[in-house]
Amino acid sequence: MRLSANPVRKVYQGVADRRQMFRLFDRHAQRPNRFEDGDGALFRGEWFEISKAEHDYMFEILPPLWMRAGLFAMREYLTGSITSIFFELSLHGRIRHFHGYCDLGDRGSPKRMRAAIVERESRAVRAMTREERLDHIWSATEDAYRGYADGRFPSSHRGKRIVMMCVFWQARAFGLLDQLSDAEISAKLPVHLRYLPDAVAA
């Protein structure tokens, strides 16, 4: 049975170092009901770039579940049938490395993710969608400054992602990530990403 498709999405701009890579492996660590079933939808389809050193480090941790030309799957599953896939791709004459979460219950998942990465990283103009900007902010924000809406928010917002907006007199004020204004998004992005043009989602 074919599983419903989740969007394949880039969740971090730039090349993640080892510390950032491990944080990105579980960037939803603060999610409510973390150890209940059904977490797979949060991770399925997420990908980001890593260095060759991190790619090789992960290859050497455990024997891969399986290997194919230019990719391998981690033996340990994150949740259900979702596991880490590591890609080595030649893009514009340069070898680059990526990590993504694929659902191996869907045999075509690694192939589709590979195609999505190649398409995204082969664009002539460097640009970001609003969703990519929000995902980068979430990925780059330390745990103490992000979380999920709780009893302080209306019931319709409970469980949605929140980020710190300001700190005053030792109090923290949080806002919903998906309701950030363009100006707030720009302020939270690093300077080298702040003025990239908007991209149309594929």
Same domain, 23 and 77: yes
pLDDT digit string, tens, across residues 138-187: 999 998 889 898 888 888 888 889 998 876 656 668 889 999 999 999 98
Q: What percentage of the chain exceeds 70 in pLDDT?
A: 89
pLDDT value for 46: 94
The DSSP annotation for 144-201 comes to: GGEEE--TTS-GGGTTSEEEEEEEETTEEEEEEGGG--HHHHHHHS-HHHHTPPB---
Give the list of residues 6+ apart from residue 162 with CB closer than 8 angstroms, or none.
Answer: 146, 147, 148, 149, 153, 174, 175, 176, 177
Average pLDDT over residues 107-112: 92
Reported as a pLDDT band with limits 50, 70 and 90, residue 119 is: very high
Domain boundary among 71, 89, 121: 121
Give the list of residues 6+ apart from residue 59 with CB closer than 8 angstroms, or none.
Answer: 72, 86
Domain boundary among 86, 102, 121: 121
Q: Is residue 201 part of a domain?
A: no
Same domain, 189 and 137: yes
3-state secondary structure 6-72: CCCEEEEEEEECHHHHHHHHCCCCCCCCCCCCCCHHHHCCEEEEECHHHHHHHHHHCCCCEEECCEE
Q: Is residue 89 part of a domain?
A: yes
Answer whether residue 135 shows pLDDT above 50. yes
pLDDT digit string, tens, across residues 4-45: 345 899 999 999 999 999 999 988 877 777 666 556 777 889
Answer whether residue 58 shows pLDDT above 70. yes
pLDDT value for 195: 76
- Give helix 52-61 / helix 18-25 axis angle, nearest 10°: 60
* Mean pLDDT estimate for the chain: 86
> Could you list the residue range(s) of the whole structural domain that residue 100 is in?
9-121
Instruction: Give the whole-angstrom CA distance, residue 82 versus residue 165.
Output: 33
Same domain, 110 and 167: no
Answer whether residue 3 shows pLDDT above 50. no
Q: Is residue 173 part of a domain?
A: yes
Most confident listed range (77-81, 110-114, 124-128):
110-114
Same domain, 112 and 136: no
Q: Which amino acid is at 170?
A: Q
pLDDT value for 117: 95
pLDDT value for 1: 28
